[in-house]
Amino acid sequence: MAADAWTAERLFSAHFQPMYPDDLRSDRSALVAARSTDANPAKNPRFLAELDEIASVFTRMAPTVLGQDLVLDRTDASVHRLGAALDRKVRDALIEGQSLVPFVIHGAIYVGAGIVASHGGTWGVRRPLWESVVTLESRAGRGDLSPFAWFLKSLADAEIDRDGLSARYRAHVERTTARPEDLPPIVTE
């Protein structure tokens, strides 16, 4: 891969890492620890309300940034519409216009809010807030999902033309929570 290729790691180090608190920026092990430490052990509802507001802001900002209304209503279908809209042209315009950071931060929180709203996930607040995870219980088990990491990976050159956000969402959210027994029969006897 070319040295100037946009990898998830390069997107992170060039655009996001400079915004992290000093202790997380300079100490890799501190960043790893912060990603797995609950920043809201008292379950303060203010943080959850802030995450919800960030997702709402994204629903208002996305049509202007993307040049189309994706009908962002926190459903699975809206995450797929968002994923399909994220192409190389959009990514490069976000980087050029210096709006990549707010778009990704708000978009990642939006995806997490969709998992909470549509699949009963629960927020795991992290520091900084955009690193927050969504814990999802399913027949496959329990997992902490990182919409921020998904967003960065989906914007990397290796995935930008393959709708990686939708693929991850489908694999880690929709398939794990699917209940085929609740679907109507295809053939009746």
| Burial of residue 137, with CB atoms counted within 10 A of its CB: 0-12 exposed, 13-18 middle, 19 or more buried | middle
Structure confidence by residue, pLDDT tens digits, 60-70? 999 999 999 99
pLDDT confidence band for 1 (50 / 70 / 90): low
Q: What share of the chain is helix, strand, coil (3-state, %, to 5)?
A: 60, 5, 30
What are the C-alpha distances in Å from 128 to residues 32, 63, 124? 12, 26, 12
pLDDT tens string 128-137:
999 999 999 9
What one-character-per-residue DSSP string does 60-104 give? HHHHHHHTS-----SSHHHHHHHHHH--HHHHHHHHHTT-HHHHH
Predicted confidence at residue 140, as pLDDT, reads 84
Q: Indicate the pTM of the whole model.
A: 0.94
